[in-house]
Amino acid sequence: MKFLENIHYDATLAGAITLCVFMALLLLKAFVARQLHRLTAGGHLQFLNYPGQILDATRPPFLFGVSLLAGLSFIDLPGAWDKRLHYGWILILVTQCAMWGARLIEVAVQRAFDRQRQTDPGSATHLMLVGLAGRMLVWVVATLVVLDNLGFNVTTLMASLGIGGIAVALAVQNILGDVFSSISIALDKPFVIGDFIVVDSYMGTVEYIGMKTTRLRSLGGEQIIFSNAELLKNRIRNYKRMQERRVVLEFGIAHETAMPQIERIPAMVKAAIESMPDEARFDRAHLKGFGDSALLYEVVYFVLSPDFNQHMDIQQAVHLTILRELRQAQVSIAYPTRTLHVMPAPQSAPGDLPFVQGMRSAA
């Protein structure tokens, strides 16, 4: 009877201590969070964002686990339970420290990513890879620390994992192919976040480069997702790295145009393009050939900006200027025409048979 009373007393004491410690930790967390929010409001003391992120990564299960272990520590437990209690402290504290470390790395990388994305998108791509590798390293170290404290031979375990890792690598080789492709993208940088690229018939702005996929935001607004390995197998056109745009303009004039006007058109086109010296650069203008219904001209010039909207504005201005000059010179833009010459039917000779005469008339 006394044994049962002791058990009941110990359980009540442990429960009361657990509840008190848990409530105290929750109140302490809320108080510290409120004070940090007050200090960082208005953009001041931004370095306190890191303690705030650590506080956010402190989850209620961890607080309850600490409270439970604290309650059990105040009662007498058998020797075997003392050892388990020790293991519990190690597991909870190391796990929570790993969560804190991973969260700090995530926040630091995200802030650096947001800052570098505006000035150096290539470095931003590297930061994503560094952040993932850092979080993986934190959890690997935490796992090894827990296993070592639980009495496992970490050296033997790592050797066993190395042998098993070969089999796992063979089983997930497609995923590993995407992972190594993402490393190749990060190091070689065929494109970075913010670039406008074209892959086969798909085009869009690079929005995210992950370990397995790369995501584009298309002109239509939808998101296009590519596997990294498949993406690198295709030819990629990167329009963001274009320095200027080459434009080829073709038009035709009527064959009946007077010879002085035909000779004057290349110089007229050159003057129209050179009237925009800071936006376009003239290359050449020639009478290209003789079409079925027009004299064909080919004009080549460069727009001195990779921006597509500006390119279209300049192209429109060039077209309007050329059209205005041609109309002022009374030169007609040719359109498909065909002239049909009808020959009169030959007169029938005397003595021709009616059948033969009918055949000739049909001809």
3-state secondary structure 262-295: HHHHHHHHHHHHHCCCCCEEEEEEEEEEECCCCE
- Do residues 108 and 43 lie in contact, with contact meaning Cβ atoms separated by under 8 Å? no
What DSSP state is assigned to residue 43?
Answer: G
Q: Which CATH number fits domain 177-238: 2.70.50.60, 3.40.1010.10, 2.30.30.60, 3.30.70.1050?
A: 2.30.30.60
Report the pLDDT value the prediction gives residue 332, as an integer from 0 to 100: 86
Write the pLDDT tens digit of every residue in 91-146: 888 888 888 888 888 887 777 777 766 666 655 666 777 777 788 888 888 888 88
Q: Name the more confident of 153 and 220.
A: 220
290 CA to centre of own chain: 48
Identify the CATH number of the domain defined by range 245-328: 3.30.70.100
Q: What share of the chain is helix, strand, coil (3-state, %, to 5)?
A: 60, 15, 25
Write the pLDDT tens digit of every residue in 49-106: 667 777 777 777 777 877 877 777 766 666 666 677 777 778 888 888 888 888 888 8
CA distance 238 to 221: 19
- Name the strand (E) or helix (H) holding 225: strand 223-227
Report the pLDDT value the prediction gives residue 78, as an integer from 0 to 100: 63
Residue entry with tokens 């404290």: 149
Residue ranges of the domains in the chain?
A: 2-151, 177-238, 245-328
Rg (CA), the chain: 40
Cβ-proximal residues to 218 (8 Å cutoff; 6+ apart), any chain: 202, 203, 204, 224
